[in-house]
Amino acid sequence: MIIRTSVAALAFALAVPTAALAEEAAPQAAAAKPTAADAEAFVAAAEKEGFDYTVSASRVFWINSTYLTDDTNALAAEVGAKGTEMQVRFALEAAKYKDVPGLSEETRRKLDKLRGGIVLPAPTTEGAAAELNTIATELQSIYGKGKGTLDGKPVSGSDIEAAMGDVRDPAKLKEMWVSWHDNVGAPMKDDYARMVEIANQGARELGFKNVGAMWRGQYDMSADEFAALTEKLWQQVKPLYDDLHCYTRTKLNEKYGDAVQPKTGPIRADLLGNMWAQEWGNIYDVVAPAGAGDIGYDVTELLKAKNYDPLKMVKGGEGFFSSLGFSPLPETFWQRSQFVKPQDREVVCHASAWDIDNKDDIRIKMCIKVNADDFTTIHHELGHNYYQRAYNKQDPLHLDGANDGFHEAIGDMVALSITPDYLVEIGLLDKAKVPGADKDLGLLLRQGMDKLAFLPFGLLVDRWRWGVFDGSIKPADYNDAWTALRLQYQGIVPPAERPADAFDPGAKYHIPGNTPYTRYFLARILQFQFYKAACDIAGWKGPLHRCSFYGNKEVGNRLNAMLEMGASKPWPDALEAFTGTREMDGTALVEYFAPLQTWLKEQNKGKQCGW
């Protein structure tokens, strides 16, 4: 999964200056009751100060991510500490205005965002912000420098991820899985527990029960209502996942035998082609049945046959957005982005999209390999960049997606349109080789191995963190609770007994990176809702999974109308602008995969499904 970094994200989900504003208030004003005019003046000044801070902060964080050293770590920690201290003071100030009568709806929304939009709030205790940021920076550095082993030899993060998708020897898969989780996750545990303690103190100072409640409160509804919404969406799509799990387990059992993968119960985590078993598309060759599973082409092979390199892959992604009527990417994008892993230094390879100055300095940071997964990821990343550009005329506090799931869904919606017809359009696939309808099950199974397989993982990461933040999961139980949730939601188990000091959550980037994760679950739902809306606008009449809206300017116009709203309105308003409905809903995803579900149920007859 991917993160984006923008001026808005840095200013109002990381740090916003407040000290000067507080100091400028006249002594008599401090004693007077605040007014709506005071609140508006405060918000306006906050937006300006926050915007100015983030331009330089963005550059520091970019350098740290693309040039990992002790010095850049120290600089990032220093800038982050300064920002967090300012942001907390700002949030405390914003809390004073939340009950002021006569506030406009816009001012109230901005105050709520200032008060509750902090990812890791530091308490006002002296030194707390510095300690919090030092820990957060160190956790990310441990991950960025982390290595597992294969055949006893050290393997870096991006390389071991790729190897997990290619290797089929269960002993080697187990070695990679165990070594990565032991080497990367375990060293973080004590620091992570301390970080949780500090951040929870900060959340309580802002009037929240804990950090998890604060995260859940950022969706134009209460924290409890949001938790209920995610559960409702999960129940809509869970039957699809259960059918896929049952079928996949059978195929793994056929390949590896009972000693490695039993016919019943959970699936061994390292056999699914992904370090975290979050997407299973890499083992499509294992599960594809003769006659029904062949999709007729391989995107990785097509890219290599057409001599695509990383730059040409990015150009291809840009071409999709250009076909919808969006302006070309700026020249600085090509000059300043990181497309491949440098040979001379450590970098954070985890893909991300950046908006440095909220004007036109947009970038991506990747370690691109010429394969189908990275081709899809490029489309995803560019979705962030085009979203950032579309709303760049909004007020600083509105420089963000309608909610964080929206930001993740845009590029994925476009990636769903990477159909055979689209591949023909861009010259990757010969028109004579476009698979017929008889190949649809293969296409859907390949998509489902990623899209459906991800759903429970997208939910459980924050379910675990919510428990950590509210104290129901104690530090001594961190790993056991993580393993239990993975069994409950995903139906998977580790390939080996985990030691008492294990911290397997830390082996997933978004845990040490402190990136809220429910956004990715929402994005999996929203991308299909957006995709169906785009196909309806384009007048598509065939099966939903065959639709490509490449080249449709009306789709581009309607999409841009939603994107340019940014976070200026509640997310149901933005959803309605593009889809015509105000409800997040999983039925488009169910419709997309309906033919696959019918087929899976046939394959699973007589099997003992569930775990």
Reported confidence tier of residue 16, pLDDT bands at 50, 70, 90? very low
pLDDT of residue 23: 31
pLDDT of residue 189: 96
Q: 296 with 446: CB under 8 angstroms? A: no
Least confident of 24-33, 261-270, 301-310: 24-33
pLDDT of residue 31: 55
Phi, psi of 200 (to 5 degrees): -65, -35
Reported confidence tier of residue 499, pLDDT bands at 50, 70, 90? very high
Q: Is the pLDDT of residue 344 over 70?
A: yes
pLDDT of residue 336: 97
pLDDT of residue 122: 87
3-state SS assignment for residue 580: coil
> For all residues of the chain together, what is the average pLDDT?
91
Q: Is 350 annotated as a binding residue?
A: no
Q: Is the pLDDT of residue 20 over 70?
A: no
Reported confidence tier of residue 415, pLDDT bands at 50, 70, 90? confident
Mean pLDDT within 23-30: 39
Task: List, for residues 457-476, the tens digit of each pLDDT value.
Answer: 999 999 999 999 999 999 99
Structure tokens at 413: 């919606």
3-state SS assignment for residue 492: strand
115 vs 91: CA distance, rounded Å: 4
Task: List, for residues 177-198, the tens digit of each pLDDT value.
Answer: 999 999 999 999 999 999 999 9
pLDDT of residue 287: 95
The percentage of residues in the chain with a pLDDT greater than 90, rounded to a whole number, is 77
Task: List, for residues 547-581, the tens digit of each pLDDT value.
Answer: 999 999 999 999 999 999 999 999 999 999 999 99
pLDDT of residue 28: 42
Q: Is the pLDDT of residue 30 over 80?
A: no
Q: Is the dihedral of CA 477, 480, 482, 487 positive or negative?
A: negative
Q: Is the pLDDT of residue 29 over 70?
A: no
Reported confidence tier of residue 11, pLDDT bands at 50, 70, 90? very low
Q: Global pTM?
A: 0.85
pLDDT of residue 292: 65
475 vs 49: CA distance, rounded Å: 38
450 vs 412: CA distance, rounded Å: 12
Q: Is 519 annotated as a binding residue?
A: yes
Q: Is the pLDDT of residue 426 over 60?
A: yes
Comparing 454 with 208, which gets the higher pLDDT? 454
Could you give the residue numbers annotated as active site?
A: 381, 510
Comparing 10 with 208, which gets the higher pLDDT? 208
Structure tokens at 68: 């990992």
Structure tokens at 490: 């995903």
Q: How many CA atoms lie within 13 A of 521 on its CB side?
A: 25
Q: Is 408 annotated as a binding residue?
A: yes
Mean pLDDT within 502-526: 95
Reported confidence tier of residue 1, pLDDT bands at 50, 70, 90? very low
Comparing 326 with 217, which gets the higher pLDDT? 326
Q: Is 389 annotated as a binding residue?
A: no
Tell me 4's DSSP state: E
Task: List, for residues 251-275, the tens digit of each pLDDT value.
Answer: 999 999 999 999 999 999 999 999 9
pLDDT of residue 293: 65
pLDDT of residue 201: 95
Structure tokens at 361: 């300095």
581 vs 574: CA distance, rounded Å: 9
Reported confidence tier of residue 80, pLDDT bands at 50, 70, 90? confident
Q: Is 531 annotated as a binding residue?
A: no
pLDDT of residue 485: 98
Q: Is the pLDDT of residue 9 over 80?
A: no
Other CB atoms within 10 A of residue 541 CB = 7
Task: List, for residues 134-166, the tens digit of each pLDDT value.
Answer: 999 999 999 999 999 999 999 998 899 999 999
Comparing 220 with 490, which gets the higher pLDDT? 490
Task: List, for residues 42-75, the tens digit of each pLDDT value.
Answer: 999 999 988 889 888 999 999 999 999 999 999 9
Q: Is the pLDDT of residue 25 over 70?
A: no
